[in-house]
């Protein structure tokens, strides 16, 4: 029923409108729009994907920095100065944006030295780090 009339006559005005059918139609249209929006966007987006022989890309280069208790550090097993470390980090960033810095610090190493290595990596725009720890056997 579209509405109800007041009074007993046929000429009475409509007092209430039934909006339930209109809400049902709008909800159905909304569901249809949401379901088809994915297909419309996918069809219109043109992407030229590169071909590859494997699904996985090459592993990101990893720089293993070890910090000794006295504050000296080495890169990939070779002793290195702070300036040389910063230069190597910049070279790694130029080679690959996905480079990872792996930091292993002695338990007695000062916190400031570890922060300095992380800061040097960040200044070279290397943002992927891992801090190496050993499992505590108790």
Q: Where are the domains of the chain?
A: 8-44, 62-131
How would you label 9-48 residue by residue, b for 16+ Cβ within 10 Å and e otherwise? eeeeeeeeeeeeeeeeeeeeeeeeeeeeeeeeeeeeeeee
- List pLDDT tens digits, range 60-71: 678 888 888 888
Whole-model pTM? 0.53
Confidence of residue 29 (pLDDT cuts 50, 70, 90): very high
| 62-131 CATH pick, 3.30.70.260, 2.60.40.420, 3.30.420.270, 3.50.50.60 | 3.30.420.270
Confidence of residue 50 (pLDDT cuts 50, 70, 90): low
């Amino acid at each position: 029923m579209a509405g109800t009339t007041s009074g007993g006559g046929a000429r009475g005005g409509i007092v209430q409108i039934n909006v339930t059918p209109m809400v049902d139609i709008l909800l159905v249209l909304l569901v249809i729009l949401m379901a088809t929006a994915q297909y419309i966007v996918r069809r219109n987006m043109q992407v030229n994907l590169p071909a590859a022989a494997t699904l996985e890309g090459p592993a990101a280069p990893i720089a293993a920095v070890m910090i000794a208790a006295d504050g000296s550090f080495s890169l990939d097993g070779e002793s290195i100065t702070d300036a040389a470390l910063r230069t190597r980090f910049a070279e790694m960033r130029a080679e690959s944006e996905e480079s990872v810095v792996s930091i292993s610090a002695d338990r007695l190493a000062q916190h400031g030295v570890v922060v300095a290595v992380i800061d040097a990596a960040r200044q070279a725009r290397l943002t992927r780090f891992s801090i190496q720890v050993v499992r505590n056997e108790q």
